[in-house]
A and B are shown apart, each in its own frame.
Chain A
Amino acid sequence: MIAEKSSKTIDVQINKDVLVVGAGKAGLTAAAQIAAQGYKAVVIGNKTACACGAGCSKEMQDAGLVEIQDGTSLVDIAGVAGDFRVTLGKGEETCEVTFGAVVVAPQYTGVPLNSAYGLALNDKVISQTQLEALLADDAGKEKLVNGSGSTVAFLSGFGQEGDPTATGRVLASALEIQKLENCRSYIYAGNVKVGAKGMERLFTQGRNEGVVCFKPKTMPTIEQDKENVKIVITDPVVRADVELEPDYVVVEEGVVVGPDNLGIAQTLGIDADVDGFLPSNNVHRFPVKSNREGIYVAQNDVDAANVALQVKALIGDGVRTLTEDIAVVDDTKCVICLTCYRCCPHGAIFWQDGAAVISPAACQGCGICASECPMDAIQLGEFTDADLKSGVKEAVASAADATPSIVAFCCKNSALEAGEAAAQFGHEMPAGFRMVKVPCAGKVDVDFIMNALVEGADGVMVAACHEGNCKAERGNIYAGWRVEEIRQRLENMGLNKDRVVFTTIASNMAREFACKVNEFAEKL
């Protein structure tokens, strides 16, 4: 029986308030931008920036469009986009509040990286922040000048690779120091990070005003005793050691992910990148989306604007049209093994009344759950198992006259695009090559592949997005595992395992895709 193809839609009322987790500059700016679109923004966390300065005007606050709950923290979250039920806590007290969307504005802390240079902080070895504090007023500047002037050495980019923001702070301070009587700045940098607006000009200005910049290949040799610090590098041009005993050494600061950041990410069920920064490094989520619908990340003003766009597109006027049958669980088959709950990359699966339930508000339709379900209890409205099997049957039948016949399960986000492009651009492809569209390679389960072989395909290709480029985060990885499993099965049965291959491709690489398909056909 083939399930009805047409999707059923339903309009649901959703909550229009937005929770902003993080009351630094980015969080408050996001709140202001969201409030400017007419939605109420509730900001929690420890407030570290001026609300008015971030655009949260007094009018907005008076009108209740921006509500800042300084010191309140995120305890727990349930529900889905449009209906997040959030537990907030302050001290011993907790309360539950409903929000339509959630914005995370992580606050990272800077720590001096003195130990990376083998230095102990003291009166003369200070952090960039401490130096900026000294330069902020006359008393501090006088201390730096210390009667007869000082030399100040900056260490930058050896403890951590650094970025234009850090380099900008070093250059600004170095230029300030050059202005002080008899004071000189020396910068020891790994790579001078000028990759941001105005930075090359700032760097050039520094050089013109006498800031000396050394760029040794490796970290300078640094000796610190009670009183003094000696920095030694080898200059390749004069081929000699260059020694400096500065009056002050300024060490760079590294940005670190604190336990708070990781805790918030874990509570919200969103992925971080390898360094622990939010969100995960997936181009399809860029700039502000997370792996969960309705949860966004803002790190700066530009992100804040993009978050407001996303919130507006999600919440609109408070009614959201959802497709009911993106993925549906057959509750007569479900045994609540929780496989689907564990493998869903989008936090869209819950359970109630003895069966798993997939929320159409959070499901992104990848179908990983449907393939992983041991009871075959999950069907996607647009891609039912019956549809896919008949699709495979048709594909093999239509290619029956050609040798070899190849069925390629193509992810609609990448391989399908590349394949269509290859056809349109007239790149040569084998006559028996047929594509079967899948929502994500994660939807391709072992049965479909076996099915294609049983129907008579000479070869089966599963074509997914490159690792790290999957819209469902891990759909391509599941697909790779399943292909490997089948290849082993074929080998165990004494069959040629190379009749089934897994490959990854990008949507814009038509020629490369054609080359890969031709290579496969050649081998068959």
Chain B
Amino acid sequence: MPNVIEVIELSKRYGNVTAIESLTFSVRAGSLFGFLGSNGSGKSTTIACLSGLTDPTSGIVRLFGKRFDSSSVELKRRIGVMPENLGLFDYLRAEEFLTFHGRMYGLGAAETRRRVDELLDALDLAGEADKPLGKFSSGMRKRVAFAAAILHGPELLFLDEPFESVDPAGVALMKSWLRRFTALGRTVFLTTHVLDTAEKLCDHAAIIHKGGRLIWQGAIPPSTDDERGPADKPFTSLEGLFLSLTGERYASLDWL
């Protein structure tokens, strides 16, 4: 399978703060790729650079084998993004927002209408027709953002914490759609804090640590010695690997 995402020496700085530093990795077509890291490690900044929200300070991003930046309009048509803060227009209804989205990605009016109706129905949002998005609960907002990301049938999907605040039924539905999505040869790149979910859902993953440094990349479960992590702590679970690599410890607080 060819690489859909290729990242070479990617760095992003905001003033004196380095959000990500010299990231290099690739993602194969058809994989469900988990991008993991602790809070503030640069996951969302990486997605922002890979989806064209912002331009990196240095480094190269290639999507579908072509150089990608924030002005790559044609490549943007082939990707779907669910950003960190969802990016919803609070004064629109869900149907209006999705219709706008579909039209912006070049879908015809009738096709947009059909897909929007089906998505709203499937995501249990059809009953909220008269409500502006600003009045939606956080879980409902997440569903709308997810619907917008998949509406135009992208070949590559970027999802930033897609399951946070969504109820179990919604999570199960989204997972089943993502599995079907990758079964068709399309690619999903997602970030999550829930390592158990990542371990069960993803076939490949990468871990970045504070300062945006990549410290592990491999298949799940690991297939080579390199991917199994430190020799003294053999891979038992993604959580164990994550903790051993990032040095996270449960602190014992004498006053707690």
Chains A and B bind each other: no
